[in-house]
Amino acid sequence: MANSTSPAINAVPEASRQAQGQFQNHTPIQRLSVGKTLRILWNAMFHKPRDTRPTAPVPVQPLTQAALMAAPNHSVYRLGHSTLLLKLRDKFWITDPVFAERASPVQWAGPKRFHQPPISLDQLPPIEAVILSHDHYDHLDYQAVLKLADKAKYFLTPLGVGDTLIKWGIDASKIRQLDWWQGTEVDGIQFIATPSQHFSGRGLFDGNSTLWASWVMIDAATRIFFSGDSGYFDGFKRIGEQYGPFDLTLMETGAYNVDWPHVHMQPEETLQAHIDLKGRWLLPIHNGTFDLSTHAWYEPFDRILALAWERSVSITTPQMGEAFNLMHPQRGEAWWLAVEGESERATVQSA
């Protein structure tokens, strides 16, 4: 594997584990039976509730390269799903860049975007590093990676994902692959690949052949956590003890389902993970862009906002493309309420 790196300072000596060529979670998770998998697929194809997609346009604040270049440091922008653009030290960093119309192996079928990205790949400013959490289609976009090949200086990945990028033609010298608890430094910012509880694979025969991870970003006194995808597990508390408190946690809140409780978090678990991490501000992600479960598209926002208010947790819900600045944090608005009027929400929920 390309570009191994040294362990992070004070790293916890517990790397990922492999068995028979497959990566494993520290705590084994229950695998879906064939029958349950077929039932889930059947329901997804023929019994989707009406409210899993918005009935009106999702608001997007367009971004321009000029506006981004003029923006202050510590600005964070949601571009959609788990794609975030961060400005730190006058440079730009992007997580899980997905710009495709569909989160799918093909672009004629599969979950379709609710909205266009606030800025195109061509208009993005130069990217210092692309930070990837795992290889699923809603997090690793082949065409986006190819377009970023010349625009991005580095690609930071969990083990094995970098090898996939090399196969796609990305220069191996740009890739830094990390195991859990390993770190690397780029332009004075420290990045540590930390555990998550999930799985990987882009086809029928490559399951768990690459690693999945969350990420810790340390820029002097500023600390940011990016969850990637994860079920709730005790690793969040361990990460919080090792690297917290975090000024901002970018936390998966969406695509959850009682049928897959170990690999995606319910909103209650997202909030607890944020608390475990000793987070100050919570920005819920992994929602509002793709239809990946059976809950209403707006439900993750409703639930996490109510839970945060109940627990007095500082939460921000910016529109796609709207800036959130860590130096001047603000909550944002419940913009999704205007997409589905109360009467429409009531009609859909009672249907």
| Residue 34 domain flag | no
pLDDT value at residue 17: 73
Residues 330 and 318: their CA atoms lie apart, in Å, by 9
Strands 182-186 and 189-194: antiparallel
| Residue 73 domain flag | yes
110: left (phi > 0), else alpha (psi -120 to 50), else beta? left
**DSSP H/E element including 217:** strand 214-219
Asked if 247 and 222 touch (Cβ cutoff 8 Å), the reply is: yes
> How many Cβ atoms from other residues are within 10 Å of residue 310's Cβ?
9
List Cα–Cα distances, 109 to 103, 239, 257, 349, in angstroms.
9, 38, 22, 26
Q: Which of 288, 290, 306, 308 is nearest to 298 (CA)?
A: 288
pLDDT value at residue 108: 93
DSSP 73-109: TTEEEEEETTEEEEEETTEEEEES---SSBSSSSSSS
| Residue 48 domain flag | no
pLDDT value at residue 42: 63
pLDDT value at residue 351: 41
| Residue 49 domain flag | no
| Residue 9 domain flag | no
List Cα–Cα distances, 252 to 3, 272, 334, in angstroms.
28, 12, 18
Bridge partners of 94? 85, 130
Residues 6+ apart with CB under 8 A from 54: 114, 297, 298, 339, 340
| Residue 202 domain flag | yes
Residues 310 and 174: their CA atoms lie apart, in Å, by 44
Q: Containing domain of residue 122, as a range?
A: 61-100+110-350
Q: Which of 115, 46, 50, 114 is nearest to 344 (CA)?
A: 50
| Residue 248 domain flag | yes
Say how many domains are in the chain: 1
pLDDT value at residue 6: 46
pLDDT value at residue 13: 45
pLDDT value at residue 21: 80
pLDDT value at residue 8: 47
| Residue 52 domain flag | no
Structure tokens, 118: 């606030």
Residues 323 and 341: their CA atoms lie apart, in Å, by 25
* pTM score over 0.85: yes
Asked if 176 and 154 touch (Cβ cutoff 8 Å), the reply is: yes
Q: Which of 123, 122, 164, 159 is nearest to 141 (CA)?
A: 164
Strands 75-80 and 323-325: antiparallel
pLDDT value at residue 76: 98
Residues 94 and 83: their CA atoms lie apart, in Å, by 7
pLDDT value at residue 20: 73
Tens of each residue's pLDDT in the chain, 351 residues: 555 454 444 444 467 777 778 999 988 887 766 566 666 666 666 678 889 999 999 999 999 999 999 999 999 999 999 999 999 999 999 999 999 999 999 999 999 999 999 999 999 999 999 999 999 999 999 999 999 999 999 999 999 999 999 999 999 999 999 999 999 999 999 999 999 999 999 998 899 999 999 999 999 999 999 999 999 999 999 999 999 999 999 999 999 999 999 999 999 999 999 999 999 999 999 999 999 999 999 999 999 999 999 999 999 999 999 999 999 999 989 999 999 865 455 444 444
CATH number reported for the structural domain that contains residue 141 in this entry: 3.60.15.10
> How many Cβ atoms from other residues are within 10 Å of residue 173's Cβ?
9
